[in-house]
Structure 1
Amino acid sequence: MSLHAAAVLRIGYGMLYLAFLLREFPHRDEIWGPGSPWTPDLARELFGSTGWFSILTLSDRPAYFEACYALALVTSALFMLGWRTRAVSVLFALVVTSFHGRDIFMTDGGDNLIVLMAEYLMFTACGRRWSLDARRDSRRAVGSPNRRVPPSAGQQAVLVRQRLSALVHNCGMFVIAAEVCFLYGSAGLYKVQGYLWRNGTALHYVLGLDLFRPWPELSHLADQHPILVAIVGYMTVLVQVAFPFVLFSRLKYVVLGLLIGMHLGIAVFLGLPVFSGAMIIADAVFLPDRVLLSLERGGWKFGGRILRGIMPTREEPSRSTSIPRPGLPEEMTHRSPM
């Protein structure tokens, strides 16, 4: 079930974490390396009480840290492309967990969600669609002849493995969907308990926080419309609380659209692109395969139109111009007007 949705999660989180690591590449030593204010010794002391683990604390040498960072970049890229996904997904979860735990005080809700999704995706067949693994399997299927052979013990073992893999995959996708429902539901219920959310002034105070104002002029411009800010605040609470109850109706597409718009606003106004990206990717678990396939076909058509508009087209001969056919007299190549 939902093989294309699992592929979207794999591509999305692999790409998001790769972009995150590339963005923080100039500051990697200050955040996760031996030169961080949160030293490896402090991290190991914290791990002793929390039970966490990180491969970055196995050695304090700068060369070892650089090797781990290069491994994280390569793993994120391979996970995004879907190469040997079963093994790479485990390595990706180890990388994300290690970097998350190395400096836990630098993380936010988006990082927590990426850690959870990386661990859940290990149990899914997220490399069966839109991946290098799928491309390799399709080539093998085309190249191998379709022969009917009597069932053997080895074939029965393969069938059992496939059934177990499908079962584990479906359970993993269900856990991911339940996680997103719990996240939205709990966030909405917590907002309902707050006085500022009930009277519609919560976003007014959020827009005034210097820590979450990448563009102060834009935040000030939005804060000049208090009625609109209050409506957006009420809609945020309503959509988050209602989300788990509309999953089995067509209304879920409207709610998903509103949630995506909300996360885009968080990314722009509050400067939290990683959190917004993690949430938008997680919402894709509720899109059926037919919707994703239709989006894929629409994307190919749109891309083809753009390429046809950019690339010069070959001039085709006019229909009125006759082209002599080889082996026939010239007078037989002209069609009669009748």
Structure 2
Amino acid sequence: MGSLLALLIERPVSLYAAAVLRIGYGLLYLLFLLREFPHREEIWGPGSPWTPALAEQLFGQTGWASILTLSDSRAYFEACYAAAVVISALFTLGWRTRAVSVLFTVMVASFHARAIFMTDGGDNLILLMSVYLVFTACGRRWSLDARRWPGRAASGTRPRPRFHELRRVVGTVLHNCAMFVIAAQVCFLYGSAGLYKVQGGSWGNGTALHYVLNLELFRPWPALSLMLDQHPILIAVAGYLTVLLQVAFPFVLFGRLKYPVLTMLLGLHVGIAVFLGLPLFSGVMIAADAVFLPDRFYESLGRLWARTIRPALTGKPRASARGGPACVPAQAEVPGSTWRERSHSHP
């Protein structure tokens, strides 16, 4: 019990994973808004078939709210849309993350509630995660905030007076609890999806993916779906593997099996994005899976970036393992350093 309490209050855990969630969801929502820019009026604007009056009527039943329904003015809608794009970009970059995370949640909830029937399910999880990330210290790694306060980024805390210790402890507890809730949310999502599939007859006989590949709504590449549909054994194996991964996911998180399981889930989500045309949903799930990778994994990625990718992009020489340049220049000759000169310099 004491070790659990110490883990909860001593230091924030999984800071790199929290940063990956911030970058992933901020970037995904930014790309989502930019992708729908030509259709923004039909989806969220005052001229949408789902009118603000209908949205307000639904809010009375569901308890939702949206800043987009505060005015019917087109100029107001365009201002809200531009604000959502800017806030998503700032959240991704990690600028004033504490305040911007709240604004990001408000924008995601407002756009989600305004056109709740126009989504593919991916923004449901973005909405949940944005609420959780408000309570995390997701700006302490890989952010503009971390560059502004390098001491805070290195130690996980900003230097504070002693009487602010309570504030530090509260922030740490909120961060750790929020990261635990995020992990539990992902486990519940996978486990419930797997158990729900087990109850279906089409998943039991291995034909579920056959029917999915023949739905016109989920066929962005009909020729590709038809080619895959010609291999029933492969489809059946993929269906059984999907159910097995989702049901087993919550039980393999505390062992080495989680790494191959996460790798296979990555392939599963890439397949969903390509074959079913759900890139937002796949990206959201891939970002959610990142919470289960330890900080040492992300630190190794940072070292790999510093050694290989960054020098290739900037054209600077790669640093050696000892911290010096890869190619050591020849040393200048020092008078008296040769054997003959040294021999004559002593009696």
| TM > 0.5 | yes
Task: Give the structure 2 partner of residue 197 of structure 1.
Answer: 203
Cα distance between partner residues in 2 of 1:197 and 1:103: 32
Identity across matched positions, percent: 68
- The match for 1:16 is 28
Question: d(CA) in 2 for partners of 1:292 and 1:85?
Answer: 20
Whether the 8 Å CA contact 2:95–2:144 is kept in 1: the answer is yes
Q: Give the C-alpha shift of residue 109 in structure 1.
A: 1.9
Q: Which residue of 1 aligns with 2:189?
A: 183
Query: How high is the TM-score relative to the length of structure 2?
Result: 0.86
> 1:334: Cα distance to partner?
7.1
Distance 1:177 1:312 in 2: 40
Q: After superposition, where does 1:198-277 map in structure 2 within 5 Å?
A: 198-277=204-283
Alignment deviations for residues 107-155 of structure 1 (CA, whole Å, 9 cap, x no partner):
122111000000110111111111111111116899xxxx9xxxxxx93
TM-score by length of 1: 0.88
Matched to 1:248, the amino acid is: F
Gaps in structure 2 of 5+ consecutive residues: 1-12, 319-326
**Counterpart in the other structure of 1:75:** 87
Aligned to 2:14: 2
Q: How far apart in 1 are the matches of 2:184 and 2:298? A: 20
- Cα–Cα, structure 1 residues 136 and 224, in superposed 2: closer, same or farther, change >3 Å? same
- 2:90 and 2:303 map into 1 onto residues whose CA distance is 25
**Are 2:128 and 1:116 equivalent residues in the alignment?**
yes
Residue pair 1:323, 1:333 contacting (<8 A) in 2 also: no
Deviation at 1:292, TM superposition (A): 1.1
Whether 1:96 and 2:97 are equivalent positions in the alignment is no
1:282 Cα deviation from its structure 2 partner = 0.4
Could you tell me which of 25, 34, 57 is aligned with 2:46?
Answer: 34
How far apart, in 1, do the equivalents of 2:329 and 2:308 lie? 28
Partner AA of 1:160 in structure 2: L
Write the deviation string for residues 192-217 of structure 1: whole angstroms up to 9, x where unpaired: 00000000010011001110010101
| CA displacement 1:84-106 (0-9 Å, x = unmatched) | 11111110000000000000000
Q: Is the 8 A contact 1:82 1:127 kept in 2?
A: yes
1:201-238 deviation digits (Å, cap 9, x = unpaired): 10011001110010101111111111111100000000
Tell me how many residue pairs correspond in the alignment.
319
Q: Report the Cα distance in structure 2 between the residues aligned to 1:82 and 1:234, rounded to whole angstroms.
A: 40
Q: 2:169 aligns with which of 145, 163, 166?
A: 163
The Cα shift of 1:312 comes to 9.9
Sort the Cα spacing of 1:173 and 1:23 in 2 relative to 1 into closer, same or farther, 3 A. same
Asked whether the equivalents of residues 13 and 114 of structure 1 are also in contact (C-alpha less than 8 Å), the reply is yes
**Paired residues for 1:274-289 under 5 Å:** 274-289=280-295
Aligned residue identity for 2:76? Y
Match of 1:151 in 2: none
Q: Is the 8 A contact 2:262 2:289 kept in 1?
A: yes
Q: CA deviation at 1:318?
A: 8.5
How far is 1:305 from its partner? Answer: 5.3
Distance 2:232 2:56 in 1: 48
CA–CA separation in structure 2 for the residues paired with 1:52 and 1:317: 64
Q: Is the 8 A contact 2:146 2:153 kept in 1?
A: no
1:49 deviates by 1.2
SS in structure 2 of the partner of residue 106 of structure 1: coil
Correspondence 1:45-64 to 2 at 5 A: 45-64=57-76
Counterpart of 2:276, as a letter, is L
User: Compared with structure 1, are the counterparts of its residues 45 and 318 closer, same or farther at alpha carbon in structure 2 (3 Å cutoff)?
Assistant: closer
Q: Cα deviations across residues 8-47 of structure 1 (Å, max 9, x unaligned)?
A: 1001100110111111111111110111111111111111
**Separation of aligned partners in 2, 1:324 and 1:182:** 68
- Distance (whole Å) between structure 2 residues aligned to residue 32 and residue 167 of structure 1: 37
- Does the C-alpha gap of structure 1 residues 195 and 141 become closer, same or farther in structure 2, counting only changes over 3 Å? closer
Distance 2:299 2:329 in 1: 37
Query: Following TM superposition, by how much is the alpha carbon of 1:317 offset from its aligned partner in structure 2, in angstroms?
Result: 11
* C-alpha distance in 1 between matches for 2:248 and 2:126: 24
The amino acid across from 1:25 in the alignment is: F
Check whether the contact 1:7–1:127 (CA below 8 A) recurs between aligned residues. yes
